[in-house]
Amino acid sequence: MPCPTDLPETFIALRPDLIRLARRIADNETEAQDLVQEVLLRLWRRQDEVRRIADPRAYARAALRNLYRQSLRRAPMLGLDAAEEPAIEPDVFAVLALSDLERAITQLPNDQAQLIRLVATGESSPRRLALRTGLPAGTVMSRLARARAGLREELGLAPGAPVSALM
């Protein structure tokens, strides 16, 4: 990512990532494009603040999600008798977060991804993971720490942020 002082280049670099995210959460391509355009315009208007942001990608992704959620709240509400079913499935954001997480896991080195997948299946004891993989417990713990740090970075979370921050 270019230096935050090169804002036009930073915004150009952010656009493809924002488009992918918007396409996953928006109802259609037009809405996705509108969301991305609005986020980039808002960032442009706040150039001085954006220059001080350590991770513009994470900030822009969060801004896009927030803008989408705001649009849902502003949408006209139907009466309970007029709505056949919810417009958005209740767990759509959890499903999107899991999709983002799975994509991020595939970006990890294989040794780290293997351990994270074992943890995801319920194996959380470093000693048991070490026995299962044949690695020393210290190696397991350090690889898990690097994997978690990599996932936080890839998902735009703050260092040490809990998993619940994905939602």
| Residue-wise pLDDT tens digits, 46-80 | 888 878 888 888 888 988 998 888 877 766 554 54
Chain centre to alpha carbon of residue 18: 11
- Residue 28, class by beta-carbon neighbours within 10 Å (0-12 exposed, 13-18 middle, 19+ buried)? exposed
Co-location of 115 and 38 in the same domain: no
The CATH number of the domain holding residue 53 is 1.10.1740
Residue 124, domain extent? 89-167
- 167 in Cβ contact with 97 (< 8 Å): yes
- Statement to judge: residues 44 and 95 lie in one domain: no
| Same domain flag for 11 and 57 | yes
What average pLDDT does this structure show over 89-106? Answer: 74
Indicate the residue type of 112.
Q
Q: What is the pLDDT of residues 103-144, one digit of tens each?
A: 888 999 999 999 988 888 888 788 889 998 999 999 999 999
With a threshold of 0.75, does the pTM exceed it?
no
Question: 2-20: per-residue pLDDT in tens?
Answer: 444 576 788 888 888 998 9
Q: Which two tokens stand for residue 20?
A: 């992918």
- On the question of pLDDT at 158 being above 50, the answer is yes
- The enclosing domain of 150 has a CATH number of 1.10.10.10
Domain end point (choices 40, 68, 85) = 85
Instruction: Say if residue 137 is exposed, middle or buried (CB neighbours under 10 Å; 0-12, 13-18, 19+).
Output: middle
Number of domains in the chain: 2
